[in-house]
Amino acid sequence: MTRNKKLVIGNWKMNFTVHEASLLLNKLSKLIKIRHDVEVVLAPPMIALQTLSLQVDLRQFKLAAQNLYWRDHGAYTGETSASQLRSLVKYAIIGHSERRNIFGENGKEIRSKMAAAIRNNICPILCVGENAIERASGETYDVLHDQIVGGLANITSHDMENVVIAYEPVWAVGTGKDATPDGALAAIKSIRSQLRHLYGDKKAKETKVLYGGSVNTDVAAGYLSLGEIDGLLVGEASLDANAFSRIVGIAHRESGESRRE
């Protein structure tokens, strides 16, 4: 994956019926222009993926799953596998802090999910980030190190071409307190140095690293103006068509391409 496009992902979480999700996609398709410098990804609830996959213009939006199960098939009541999702989505969010903290997802499951995504040609978006206690006790970089090393344990250098990392400090997700561009920059630099250590300089430079956590129309530009940050993972603000389309517009404005226009 090259870093010349900004990536803006809307994570709708457990919101909307299938009908409402379809209406939101319809609104977004009128508000958001197809751009060569911004890739826009929508992560609707699992039940809406099939409907949206028939409705979506893939030049305009790509789809993502919010989660997947690491086995390909079998007696796993209530789960959805990467092999079932592969015809519907380009991306899957893996290891989101809500999955880790509310559903107790551990490092072993996360690395199995990363491998399942890769095995099924789905690009995994690995979420990493420290919580408030870890931050207060100065453990941010250790936590990021462990989550990166653990999450990528099954991922080869070749696979890294399809991997996206999202820095999402837990204390910033859904709280209205964003990390600030400087704070995110320091963490993302440390993530990139981990990647350099694991896969070498070229791969570290080529991997897309996003920021997520209380991104809205007021703060988006601050993150996107930094060359080091390749895009945004947006929760709450992605539920509103106008707010999300403005964030996509900001990504276009802050991209190199629009400055050359």
Residue 235 makes contact with ligand PGA by CB under 6 A: yes
The correct pick among 11, 67, 147, 255 for binding ligand PGA (CB under 6 A) is 11
SS3 of 14-26: the string is CCCCHHHHHHHHH
Residues 227, 228, 234, 237: what is their CA dihedral angle, to the nearest 10 degrees? -40
Which of 39, 230, 236, 254 is close enough to bind ligand PGA by CB under 6 A?
A: 236
Please report how close the Cβ of residue 74 comes to ligand PGA at its closest, in angstroms.
29
Q: Does 107 participate in binding ligand PGA (rule CB under 6 A)?
A: no
CA distances from 156 to 29, 69, 244 (A): 36, 20, 34
The answer to whether 150 touches 107, Cβ cutoff 8 Å, is yes
Q: Which of 96, 98, 105, 236 is catalytic?
A: 96
* Nearest residue (CB) to ligand PGA, 48 versus 234: 234
Q: Rule CB under 6 A: choose which of 160, 164, 215, 247 binds ligand PGA.
A: 215
Per CB under 6 A, the list member of 45, 213, 231, 249 interacting with ligand PGA is 213
| Structure tokens that stand for 75 in this block | 């007696």
Q: Pick out residues in 28-57 that bind ligand PGA (CB under 6 A).
A: none
Nearer to ligand PGA, 69 or 171 (CB): 171
Tell me whether residue 96 is one of the annotated catalytic residues.
Answer: yes
Residues 48, 52, 173, 185: which binds ligand PGA (CB under 6 A)?
173
- In whole angstroms, what is the distance from residue 190 CA to residue 173 CA? 20
Nearer to ligand PGA, 10 or 249 (CB): 10
Contact between 233 and ligand PGA by CB under 6 A: the answer reads yes
Of 198 and 221, nearer to ligand PGA (C-beta) is: 221
Alpha carbon 187 to its chain centroid, in Å, reads 16
Of 98, 105, 168, 254, catalytic: 168
**Within 13 Å, how many C-alpha atoms sit on residue 189's CB side?**
8
- CB-based contact 251:38 (threshold 8 Å): yes
**Residue with the two structure tokens 């704070």:** 183
Please compute Rg for the chain using Cα positions.
Answer: 17
95 bridge partner residues: none
* Least distance from ligand PGA to the Cβ atom of residue 42, Å: 13
Q: Is 19 assigned a catalytic role? A: no
> CA torsion sign, 13 to 63 to 47 to 99?
negative
- Residues that bind ligand PGA in the complex, under the rule CB under 6 A: 11, 168, 173-174, 212-215, 233-237
* Residues annotated catalytic, as ranges: 96, 168
